Structure formats: structure tokens, C-alpha cells
Amino acid sequence: MVLDKTDPSYRRCTITVMDNIADPDITFDEKGICNYYYDYKEAEKRVLTGAAGEQKLAELSAAIRKQGQGKKYDCLIGLSGGVDSTYVAYLVKQLGLRPLAVHLDNGWNSELAVKNIENIINKLNIDLYTLVVNWQEFRDIQLSYIKASVVDIEVVSDHAIFATMYKLAKEQDIGYIISGTNIVTEHIMPSNWLYKKMDFANLEDIHDKYGKVKLKTYPIFDFKRYVYYSAVLKLTPISILDYVPYIKKDVKEFIKRELDWRDYGGKHYESIFTKFYQAYILPEKFKIDKRKAHLSTLICSGQISREEALNELELPLYSEQDLRQDKEYVLKKLGLSVTEFDSIMRASPRRHEEFKSDTKLKRNYMTLLQKTQGLRKIFK
């Protein structure tokens, strides 16, 4: 495994800034171009801009409006206060849709995030629903993930937000979920930096082994719900940002101007924990610098030059003062002493796969669905 750039076997892609520190399994072709570049180029085909994008959006919004007739809301959007979700909120209003915005309060909101959300919903006249996760439970699961030394601690938040979106869609009888996920600014992501957000069996097992607090209100998305929502309700989030020109720099300027949006530097820094996770836990313990993936995506979509990306990577992830402040706050909130935390940071990373999973169950179920497709058609 390559740990730093002075290693003789260190290699970096000639187009992106992905390297064999970021992903030991990275492959390069004869021109020194990595697999992530080609993977991006493949995904890019799904991005529709210009007339094709407009047509796609017109079709989608017509369908959404039609299904939402007579209802208070016709779609759900997530709202974190970040760039992607803010722009989604703006776009859906432009399309004449009637969204209900959903926000997750996991106890780590920054002032910037809540102020951005306040401005967005007031300026765009959007109703908000907040899921407040019980902090004692949430902290206990987060602590379990930290102690388990698994990489994707953000599953704890992401799982809750997905589970809530689906639950709310059903309760409010809303047929569409519109998501801010997009190809041109976030497609590249090594698979070993993340874990599946919807694998409740994994979460439950990690929490069973390391947690103390019984989960009573934490929103779950288990296999039973997976079957229900995917097969019965057929809710698939729509990535609307893939159908518009999405140049991050321009969009930021635009939402600053139109929605009084404020930048907090760094992708997903709207949450204090996420900032600490991405700028300290990931690089220190897992040797992961998420900027490499984000910047590489922006290079591939022509939004920055490789030179700019390399310069940005030279900047420290944290100023010393911010790190000290955030670390103190995070440890206080989690109820961890510095000694405890530092010893967890030294513990070797473990794979999510060492814990239970519902992946196999889901796969078998999907195979079953495919096999019986013909049969089911007859009975429909």
C-alpha cells in the first residue's frame, strides 16, 4: 500500500488527481490515465444538457404535476443548506412544482446551514419538515461507528434521511423524491471510501456490538421497507441536476445573489461533524482525502484545471485553530475524552463487510423478481 508521494511506487493519473494513495486498486492505461476518468466519461453520457435536458425536465415535471394533482405537495426534496440541495430547491420551484422540503437535524447543524435553509424556504416560499433525530440515540450510533473503526460514519445520517424521505413520501402521499445527487460534481468516488447507506443490517450489527442506547426513534430502512418502497411504491429519486448545466462555481454565485446563500468552504461542511470527519478522521485514520475525488470530478467535467486542483490539494484541510476548536466541540458532544478518541484514531480500520449485511437478501430478492417477471405479468 502506498502511503505518501515519496514512495517510489506512487502513481497519479495524468488527467485527474486520483492516485494510488486514494485507491490502491486504481488502474492506469498506457497513457497514465486512471479508470476513474473512463468511468466518468461513461457516466457523463447520462447527463443531458441543452434541448435534451430541457425536454427531459419538461417531461418529468409534467408527470410530477399530473400525479400531484389535488395534493398539497407533488414532490419531496432534501434540504441540507449545501449547494446541491439549495439549487434543487430553486430548480423545482422554477419548474412550477410544489415541493415539501425535508431537513435532518442530527444535532450537528452549523449556524450557516440553518440560516441558509431559513433563507431558501422564505425566499422560495417552500414548506419545511424537519426530522429531529433523538440526540442520545444518534450519538450512540455515531459513537458505535467511530469505535468500530469502519470508514463510512456518515451512513448514520444518510440512512436516517433516506428512511425519513421514504416514510414521509408515503405518509403525505407524495409520488416523487427529487435528489441533489449529480454526475458532473460528484460522480467519482472510490467504492472503499463509502458503504451502502441503506444497509440497515450493517448499521444494526455495528450498533449491537458497540452501542448502549436502545434505538426507539431512529428512522430505519430495513429489508421489509426496502421491498415495500422499491416494489410497491416504486419510489426512485430523480437526479434533477443531471438535466441542467451544473457549473458549481457559477451556481454558488447565483444562489448567493438570489437566495442570500452563504458559503462555508468545503463540500458538505454544513455539518460540524461532517467537516471534522472529512477533514480530520478520514485523512488521519483512513488516509482518505475526499477532495481528490471531488476535484477529479470537476476536472473531468471541465470545471477546473488539473493545475488548480493540484494547488488546492496542497492547502491544509484544517487550520490549526479550527481543528482545535472543532475537535474540542466534537469530543464534548460525543462525550469522548481526548485519550479515548486518540486511541480510537490509532486503531486499525475495519471493513463494513466484517459486520452483518442485508445485501445478499436484497440481491436474492431482485433475482427472484427478475425470474418471476414473466409470470407476474400474466397475473397483472
Partner 1 sequence: MKRIRVIPALLIQDGGLVKSVKFKDHKYVGDPINAVKIFNEKEVDEIVVLDISASLEKRGPRIAEIKEIASEAFMPLGYGGGITRLSEIEELITAGVEKVILNSSAFENPTLINDAAKYVGSQSIVASVDVKKNMWGKYRVFIKNGAKNTDIDPVEFARKMEDAGAGELLLNAIDRDGTFGGYDETLIRSVSSAVNIPVVAIGGAATINDFVKAVGAGASAVSAGSMFVFQLPHRAVLISYPRQQELEEKLFSYIN
Please give the grid coordinates belonging to residue 152.
Answer: 463510512
By rule CB under 8 A, what string of x and - marks binding of each residue 321-360 to partner 1? --------x--xx---------------------------
* Least distance CB 114 / partner 1 (angstroms): 5
286 binds partner 1, rule: CB under 8 A: no
| Residue 100 parent element (H or E) | strand 99-105
d(CA 27, CA 38): 11
d(CA 114, CA 116): 5
| Residue 105 parent element (H or E) | strand 99-105
Q: Which listed residue (134, 181, 192, 239) binds partner 1 by CB under 8 A?
A: 134
Please give the grid coordinates belonging to residue 357.
Answer: 449485511
Q: Which listed residue (127, 173, 250, 342) binds partner 1 by CB under 8 A?
A: 127
132 binds partner 1, rule: CB under 8 A: yes
d(CA 282, CA 153): 10
Nearer to partner 1 by Cβ, of 201 and 331: the residue is: 331
121 binds partner 1, rule: CB under 8 A: yes
Q: Which listed residue (40, 108, 246, 261) binds partner 1 by CB under 8 A?
A: 108
Nearer to partner 1 by Cβ, of 338 and 368: the residue is: 338
90 binds partner 1, rule: CB under 8 A: no
d(CA 80, CA 210): 28
* Least distance CB 50 / partner 1 (angstroms): 37
Using CB under 8 A as the binding criterion, the count of chain residues that bind partner 1 stands at 23
Nearer to partner 1 by Cβ, of 79 and 206: the residue is: 79
Nearer to partner 1 by Cβ, of 119 and 303: the residue is: 119
Stretch touching partner 1 by CB under 8 A, among 35-43, 91-99, 109-117, 277-285? 109-117
How far is residue 367 from each of residues 48, 145, 364, 370, 373, measured CA to CA in Å?
Answer: 31, 31, 5, 5, 10
Nearer to partner 1 by Cβ, of 108 and 261: the residue is: 108
Q: Which listed residue (68, 82, 107, 219) binds partner 1 by CB under 8 A?
A: 107
Please give the grid coordinates belonging to residue 163.
Answer: 428512511
Contact 268, 180 (CB under 8 A): no
DSSP 153: T
Stretch touching partner 1 by CB under 8 A, among 113-121, 173-181, 241-249, 348-356? 113-121
Nearer to partner 1 by Cβ, of 14 and 325: the residue is: 325
How many other CB atoms are there within 10 angstroms of residue 208's CB atom? 12
Stretch touching partner 1 by CB under 8 A, among 49-57, 112-120, 279-287, 293-301? 112-120
* Least distance CB 216 / partner 1 (angstroms): 11
124 binds partner 1, rule: CB under 8 A: no
d(CA 164, CA 109): 17
Q: Which listed residue (130, 181, 230, 359) binds partner 1 by CB under 8 A?
A: 130
CA angle, 104 then 108 then 113, to 5°: 70
Q: What is the 3-state secondary structure (H, E, C) of 30-84?
A: CCCCEHHHHHHHHHHCCCCCHHHHHHHHHHHHHHHHHHCCCCCCCEEEECCCCHH
Which residue in the block uniquely carries the three cell numbers 421491498?
A: 227
Please give the grid coordinates belonging to residue 162.
Answer: 433516506
Q: Which residues bind partner 1 (CB under 8 A)?
A: 103, 105, 107-111, 114-115, 117-118, 121, 127-130, 132, 134-136, 329, 332-333
